[in-house]
Chains A and B, each alone.
Chain A
């Protein structure tokens, strides 16, 4: 069942086309990794899915219904879709105890039931046990990993159906990283909690995600099951990203320059000025299409790739 869906979403800030036509389905109990370099629009897309950013066109659907537009409706929606940020130190109020941090959401949403019990249950689901030992602790008394668990507990207290996590382990130590990822995986298995994890880290996708969507300059250029996309990437951008990982066995394809400016999206395929396939030489017909013809939007539910060279190669088979 599709829980959350981006339906041809665009988000433009003036001339900048931060998100420029994205379809993405998140199903119940599924973990999706949205990967891309900084400036590719992945965080803007995540904010749009949370209702924190209004799309310029297209819409976001939760359980088949468009997101409400009013403040009250959005507040209700955010019980179901919770945000987990990168830096737990910034996300927690330094003067609030762990108990206060987790109870805050319960109070805002006026969740019925015994507050102490709800807080304790959320803390223990986030792996902070025994929970009452953490009630009075202040953020500065906790380690980085424990702080991120408190943030996750705050989200879990509201019993959401999907977490949207923006680089949830990027600021954590290497040995702690695995523990937090294991927690996300366990929440999916035990509670059926879906998650969209926004990251630049392909190893994270390999560790926990079912599907991966690779974003480049406002569009998803390749998506599909993790095993497929990460072990047999089809888009030259995905191939390049994987080739530069330190442990990669294929020769590194280091793309020159950085993610280009979303206010000047190239004509044709938006990746063509940096494309190693095009630079290495493609049949004239294909190369012309790369430079002039925009690609269709990749389906949000199935596996897909937005590349002229790949479409030609697969239709020739």
Chain B
């Protein structure tokens, strides 16, 4: 094992606003090695996209990044613009959600895939574009198509081809299947898994859907109010969540055939907290079905919760 592909140590991101600093990411530690896949789950506003975009500093100008974000051992927060440009695409790349908006509508997709290859001066462009398209399951001649001539699933494949263009070690996929139909979602997830396997790359995948993440990633991290509140092996986190928030998230998407969820949709009362006005103590306590008196005063950090599992909850975990 060499350097981890990605390592975060106490990473924080705050947004400067008229009302002062608003914390979006409040101290996150995580690590991804080559060939590893990590799913990052959470609801809108929990900081998961901010965290993912901080890896390549693809954040709005008012974002202030703290802590260490190490890409191949090098601190991203200290890179100059030139170095950052060299690292984007070549060491880590992003598959954005909503391929319709992420692609340029008036440029052929082949040209768009070629762009990062040219910027990084990597060999004969046209042949490489063809190879990439075939790698994501599209015929090489589709390079001549415009985005509107492709279906949603095909556009997402083009996005993945772009992300692979400069053979990065790490791919960050931000809700890569959110707008897609179930069947197309299954196709795209199968493709991502196959590529990660074949190319031995690391994957950081972000979604609000725990079951989608668990089917694609080896490990799961669940975020709430800017922090990871639970992390562990995917199947175990999904089946036996330790943190009450993970439990609620897992129950929100029912397993078909499970009598417990039949005619019994389960959710959580209340809404995710406003990052500018986080509750004291555990930020989840106002919505937590198992909250105790201490929860409103104790700031709970991650602690061991079984083998290869951490959870930020005061509740004792059954062994």
Contacts and interface: CB of A to CB of B under 8 A. Distances in A.
Contacts of A120: none
A256 B190 CA distance: 12
Given A182-B265, A185-B263, A200 B181 contact: yes
Contact of A240 (B183, B184, B249, B264): B183
Contact of A202 (B211, B215, B256, B261): B256
Interface string B72-92: 000000000000000000000
Nearest to B212: A246
Nearest to A226: B262
A206 B262 contact: yes
What's the interface size class on B, roughly?
A: 35 or more
Interface in A159-210: 173-182, 185, 200, 202-203, 206-208
Contact of A227 (B182, B249, B262): B262
A288 to B, nearest CB: 27
A146 B43 CA distance: 16
A222 B214 CA distance: 30
Given A173-B272, A203-B256, A246-B212, A179 B183 contact: no
Summarize A's interface: helix, strand, loop or mixed.
helix
Nearest to A244: B186
A247 B211 contact: yes
Contacts of A258: 151-153, 181, 183-184
Interface residues of A, number: 41
A166 to B, nearest CB: 15
Interface of A: 37-38, 143-146, 173-182, 185, 200, 202-203, 206-208, 226-227, 230-231, 240-242, 244-248, 252, 254-256, 258-259
Contacts, number: 121
Contacts of A175: 43, 248-249, 252, 267-268, 272, 287
B44 interface: yes
Contacts of B253: 174, 203, 247
Contact of A254 (B183, B252, B254, B255): B183
B187 interface: yes
A177 B257 contact: no
A304 B264 CA distance: 26
**Which 9 residue pairs are nearest across A and B when measured between Cβ atoms?**
A178-B267, A181-B265, A244-B186, A246-B215, A179-B267, A143-B271, A175-B268, A246-B211, A207-B265
A38 B269 CA distance: 31
B268 A255 contact: no
Given A173-B272, A202-B256, A246-B215, 19 more contacts: A173-B44, A173-B271, A174-B209, A174-B252, A175-B249, A185-B265, A203-B254, A206-B257, A206-B262, A207-B262, A207-B264, A208-B263, A242-B256, A244-B186, A245-B211, A246-B189, A246-B211, A256-B187, A259-B181
